[in-house]
Amino acid sequence: MAGTAVWLLQQLIPPLLLTYFYFGWKITTFETPQIYRTLPTLLVGSITIVYLRLYFLSSTQSTPPYDPPPAIRNRKIIFQCLSPSEAKALRLANDAANQYDEEPMVERCHRDRCGGRWKPARTRHCSMCQRCRGGWDHHCPFFANCLTAQYMRSFLALLLYTPPTVLLLSLPLYKPLCNRAIAAYAFSRSSDEIRQYWWDWSYSWVIAGGPIGRYAGGMILGWRELDKMDNDKTLRLGVGLMIGFGVLLALVTTGLAFSTITLLVRGNLTIDKGRSTAHNQALHAIYKSKMSGRSIPPELEMNLKRFSDTRHFYVPFPESFQNNGKEGIVLPILDHERPYDHGWKKNLEIVLGKGWAWLLPWNAMQRGMGDEMFSWPIEEGVKNRLMEEAERIALEIQGDS
Ligand SMILES: [Zn+2]
Ligand SMILES: [Zn+2]
């Protein structure tokens, strides 16, 4: 049901938004007192092309390759893999003969169109698109596709262009439009006709969405009458509604830009935040059960495990130890370690590129990350700690034999 609603929404939103961009440009360029000429074309034009870039993304964008690259297949580098117990359970389920095999296993996805495709670190299966996407952030109904780290710059540029565009283009109209709105409200109150079928009609309290809708509706009715009387093209109701919607859009994009940047700075994508929220909810529920002396429901423990932040990495032994039969080991990361958090500056740089140049429209159109998105860089401190631990274990094995 929710899926159908999102599907319908994403069919409707893009044409509506594009129509809105067109009328916004037309009104500010040709119909309002001519303060601007080229500015609206530049601003609205940039927004439109970056938006179209996202809207025309292919359906297979950001999908990981079917198999991991050779460096991972041949286990030459550190990579995120399943925990030994998960790998063992999978082997038991698939092929009992190899159940004690200690080889590291990468995660694979068997849902929908994935059919056993490699699922690298920071990849998530989108149920709307029915496929896995690397560097997944969220499925966005505004452009009917997934937002991934690769296109984060286009998305952020779009969010950051919108508020100044709305502000600049509508600035000269705020005062006259506010006056017009006040006049419209006063007219609506004094008109016998509108009073009769709106203000005195008791359903006006509910029909337009409550008391606010009653006053907004009354004002709109008055505005329509004023438009009929003086035929002022600039201050007509349509322009007022366009700008009202623009202000709303500017507020929403400001909020979204802020929360997206906050996540990126911490080395997170929306997927990580969802994960730790789910983990905390499960923890909290278990704590409550314990306090009240009830037994812990098994599905809660499963949730806790599923969303736990304990990741496992395959770490190759140093070259000199590798002729000992065993070439490397799977290690868990420690509780406090955040393998994908490199500090705010590098976090931004990995996803968006160096400096602020990505924000320019022609750069914002380019992908911010290439295939390295499927082998997300691991933070140096964590990487070194894992390598030291692997070396220590290798030495132990050598000492035993
Ligand atoms: Zn998948
Ligand atoms: Zn999607």
Quick: pLDDT tens for 367-388.
Answer: 999 988 999 999 999 999 999 9
Q: Judge contact between 82 and 106, C-beta under 8 A.
A: yes
Determine the distance separating the centroid of ligand 1 and the alpha carbon of 140, expressed in angstroms: 17
Among 60-69, 113-122, 153-162, 271-280, whose mean pLDDT is lowest?
Answer: 271-280
With 70 as the cut, is the pLDDT of residue 36 above it? no
- Residue 161's H or E segment, with its range, is helix 152-190
Give 89's pLDDT tier (boundaries 50, 70, 90). confident
DSSP letter at 160? H
**pTM of the model as a whole:** 0.83
Distance 148 CA to ligand 2 centre (A): 9
- Picking from 283, 320, 335, the residue whose alpha carbon sits closest to that of residue 395 is 320
| SS3 track for 311-325 | CEEEEECCHHHHHHC
**Confidence check: pLDDT of 296 > 80:** no
Q: Is 305 within a domain?
A: no
Residue 205 lies in a domain: yes
Integer Cα distance of 375 and 372 in angstroms: 5
Q: Looking at residue 195, what DSSP letter applies? A: I
What is the 389 CA–ligand 2 centroid distance (Å)?
39
Q: One-letter amino acid identity for 130?
A: Q
Rounded-to-integer distance, Cα 147 and Cα 54, Å: 9
- Single out the residue of 130, 64, 54 nearest to residue 367, CA to CA: 54
C-alpha 154, offset from chain centre: 12
With beta carbons less than 8 A apart as the criterion, state whether 119 and 105 touch: no
Q: Bridge-partner residues for 331, per DSSP?
A: 313
Looking at the domain assignment, is residue 255 inside a domain?
A: yes
* 366: in domain: no
pLDDT band at residue 146 under the 50/70/90 scheme: very high
Q: What is the pLDDT of residues 217-234, one digit of tens each?
A: 889 999 998 888 887 777
Q: Lowest mean pLDDT: which of 42-56, 78-92, 114-128, 330-344?
A: 78-92
Tell me the CA–centroid distance for residue 274 and ligand 2, in Å: 16
- Cα–Cα–Cα angle for 52, 57, 59, rounded to 5 degrees: 145
17 within domain boundaries: yes
Please give the tally of structural domains in the chain: 1
What is the rounded CA–CA span in Å between residue 190 and residue 196?
Answer: 11
The answer to whether residue 334 sits within a structural domain is no
Around ion ligand 1, which residues have CB less than 5 A away? Answer: 109, 111, 114, 125, 132
- The domain containing residue 38 runs over which residues? 2-59+155-264
Residue 3 CA: distances (Å) to CA of 13, 142, 153, 350? 15, 15, 27, 32
Would you say the C-alpha torsion 166, 344, 75, 336 has a positive or negative sign?
negative
Does a structural domain hold residue 178? yes
Distance CA 342, CA 332 (A): 19
Give me the helices (H) in 27-66, please.
Answer: 38-55
pLDDT of amino acid 29: 80
Q: What is the structure's pLDDT at 400?
A: 72
Q: What is residue 28's predicted lDDT score, i.e. its pLDDT?
A: 81
Return the higher-pLDDT residue of 400 and 25: 25
pLDDT at 319: 81
CA distance linking residue 203 with residue 11, whole number of Å? 33
Query: 348 pairs with which residues across the strands?
Result: none
Q: Name the residue with tokens 């297979």.
A: 60
Of 67-76, 137-146, 192-201, 270-279, where does mean pLDDT reach its minimum? 270-279
Question: Residue 390: is its pLDDT beyond 70?
Answer: yes
pLDDT tens digits for range 9-23: 888 988 999 999 998
Tell me the C-alpha distance between 228 and 226, whole Å.
5
Question: pLDDT for 311-333, tens place per residue?
Answer: 899 999 888 776 667 788 899 99
Beta bridge partners of 342: none
Judge whether 190 lies within some domain: yes
Question: Residue holding tokens 């631990």?
Answer: 389
**Which bound ligand lies closest to the C-alpha atom of 113?**
1
Query: Which band of pLDDT confidence, cut at 50, 70 and 90, is reported for residue 38?
Result: confident
pLDDT digits (tens, 9 = 90+) for 92-133: 776 655 555 667 788 888 888 888 899 999 999 998 899 999
Q: Where are the beta strands (DSSP E) in 56-107?
A: 79-81
| Percent of the chain's residues with pLDDT above 90 | 40
Nearest ligand, CA of residue 126? 2
What residues have CB less than 8 Å from 143, skipping those under 6 apart? 10, 14, 51, 54, 55, 57
- Count H helices and E strands in the chain, helices first: 13, 9
- pLDDT of 208: 78
Q: Which two tokens stand for residue 98?
A: 């190899």
At 331 the pLDDT is 92
Give per-residue burial for 193-208: e unless 16+ CB within 10 Å, then b. Answer: ebeeebbeeeebeeeb
The pLDDT confidence band at residue 33, using thresholds 50, 70 and 90, is low
Helix axes 270-291, 298-306, angle to 10 degrees: 150
Average pLDDT value over all residues in the chain:
85
Does the pLDDT at position 78 exceed 70? yes
Q: Nearest-5° angle of CA 50, CA 51, CA 55? A: 120
| Range in 159-163, 173-177, 346-350 the model is least confident about | 173-177
pLDDT at 74 over 90: no
Task: Supply the pLDDT for residue 1.
Answer: 66
Spacing, Cα 147 to ligand 2 middle (Å) = 8
| Spacing, Cα 163 to ligand 2 middle (Å) | 26
Distance, CA 112 to ligand 2 centroid (Å)? Answer: 13
Q: What is the average pLDDT across 250-267?
A: 93
Question: Residues with beta carbon < 5 A to ion ligand 2?
Answer: 126, 128-129, 139, 146
* CB proximity list for 117: less than 8 A, separation 6 or greater: 63, 64, 65, 66, 108, 109, 132
